[in-house]
Structure 1
């Protein structure tokens, strides 16, 4: 992995503003459409209130079509002094590659729709998953940055964030951060693990053979337990995805065709890639960031410490459900605060 020196800081963009701590080369990224203007503005309004109004990290919004004035105006109105850029996704990154049989892909969508598989019939959803898996970090508007924070329309941030997550990642050699984990629908990725194992066999030098995090997703490498980090929230190193190892992994998956012939999501793809390439210590659980997307949420576990900073209940969050994989993460890699609350919440 290409690591970023701790003293790599962002240039000063506004001489009249001084953030609480020096900014690193971080950016907040949102993939959105013009119809998402209201939801996007709500998300950014909350993030500005909880964090970025004090730090003023730049925003990059990406769309496969040009953003209209309504979208731009609504987002700029959230904070007229915010540094916002609106980018167009290259057609080559949001279209079928030459090796994909589009008739076969259409038949797969039809079959999955009839089987009532979530997003099974959605063509645009597949392009979105492929784009987030292997292209967003290549956009020219992100070239100058080392870290990104992925935000989506219509998400909620429940807690004041007093520490800069980007600087925390940099100073502690963290390359991927999450708040929520859960299991994937197996019907959406029937051959993803088989394809991953083929990549591992063909490219052993790319895989971290010792002290990796892969045992969180597979005990013996024979099967995938479906656990993944929910990628609608990510804070990570752009250098992780730009690495030769991950680029090779994505290219292998892309040529296999599962983004279109099945319905591979970027969440399991990112999660498998991160756990194969990183040490557990390079993956961080952002307990201090209260977050919600479509009713699936995380609220800080050590609730007393956040009593005056959060508007959520730490004893009622997705981490404590049977669908969460976060308890398994801490069983493997340790965190006493999580184990303590789990015992309070759900005694055996």
Structure 2
């Protein structure tokens, strides 16, 4: 039972509190680095400067569906929030990443938050603060098991413009059995040491195609 509670504590903390920690107060950008991850590519630029210079808010390498039994009421709660606070939804949002039917239901797609580079001022802002408080008041982080990955992903997809979410296709990354290995020129020129065949991008249960269709 303690492990179950501790995992929920972690999801809740990462969803609503880490960016409020006093040690992070002076900072705007963060790069989440988990234990037991692998990075495979040379990086010859500062990703924080890239994000800032290109007006990006959230960056990812892998996307996949959430396990539905952990979030049975999350989407209905999101829909209730949007109905009460429509002013926070960006006109040029990424709903088509989250839903295959214009928001009626959730397709479970999320950005895997084991890797994320993002703007903490977005999490600290009015829209996300209201959103997190709304979720918090339902108790879903404990009564169910709402993870920070779908919570972050839904917020980023709805409250930012779709061009403010960035796929770091040039950063090779692996956690557990899931990997992103850059393809084509980036890999051939020796910038990356990963196996290009070990790549989750367009696996059957990858959600990257849902993200790519936003920019078709």
Specify the TM-score bucket, using the shorter chain as the normaliser. over 0.9
> SS of 2:201's equivalent?
helix
Match of 2:18 in 1: 136
Give distance in 1, aligned partners of 2:112 and 2:63: 5
- Residue 187 of structure 2 corresponds to residue 306 of structure 1: yes
> SS of 1:190's equivalent?
coil
Give distance in 2, aligned partners of 1:222 and 1:250: 21
Give distance in 2, aligned partners of 1:224 and 1:275: 12
Q: CA deviation at 1:301?
A: 2.3
Q: CA deviation at 1:331?
A: 2.2
> SS of 2:27's equivalent?
coil
- Residue 102 of structure 2 corresponds to residue 229 of structure 1: no
> SS of 1:177's equivalent?
strand
Give distance in 1, aligned partners of 2:64 and 2:195: 19
Please report the TM-score for the alignment, with normalisation by the length of structure 2. Answer: 0.95
Match of 1:163 in 2: 45
CA contact (8 A) 2:94 2:214 kept: no
Structure 2, gaps ≥5 residues long = none
Q: Per chain length, whose mean CA-contact separation is higher, i.e. which structure has more relative contact order (CA < 8 Å, sep 6+)?
A: 2
Give distance in 2, aligned partners of 1:251 and 1:314: 42
Q: CA deviation at 1:130?
A: 0.3
**Alignment equivalent of 1:220, drawn from 102, 107, 114:** 102
**Alignment equivalent of 2:60, drawn from 178, 192, 197:** 178
Q: CA deviation at 1:214?
A: 1.5
Give distance in 2, aligned partners of 1:206 and 1:329: 21
Match of 1:124 in 2: 6
CA contact (8 A) 2:92 2:161 kept: yes
| Length, aligned pairs only | 214
Q: CA deviation at 1:207?
A: 1.6
Match of 2:33 in 1: 151
Match of 2:80 in 1: 198
Give distance in 2, aligned partners of 1:140 and 1:319: 36
Structure 1, gaps ≥5 residues long = 1-105, 110-120, 335-348
CA contact (8 A) 2:187 2:196 kept: no
Q: CA deviation at 1:316?
A: 2.8
Match of 1:54 in 2: none
> SS of 1:320's equivalent?
coil
Superposition misfits of 4+ residues, deviation over 2 angstroms:
304-307, 313-316
CA contact (8 A) 2:162 2:214 kept: no
What RMSD in Å do the two structures reach over aligned CA positions? Answer: 1.4
Give distance in 1, aligned partners of 2:103 and 2:10: 28
**Alignment equivalent of 1:324, drawn from 200, 206, 215:** 206
If you compute each CA radius of gyration, which structure gives the higher value, 1 or 2? 1
Match of 2:161 in 1: 279
CA contact (8 A) 2:112 2:149 kept: yes
State the Cα deviation string for residues 204-248 of structure 1 (Å, max 9, x = none).
11222x211112101321110000000010001011101100000
Give distance in 1, aligned partners of 2:144 and 2:42: 39
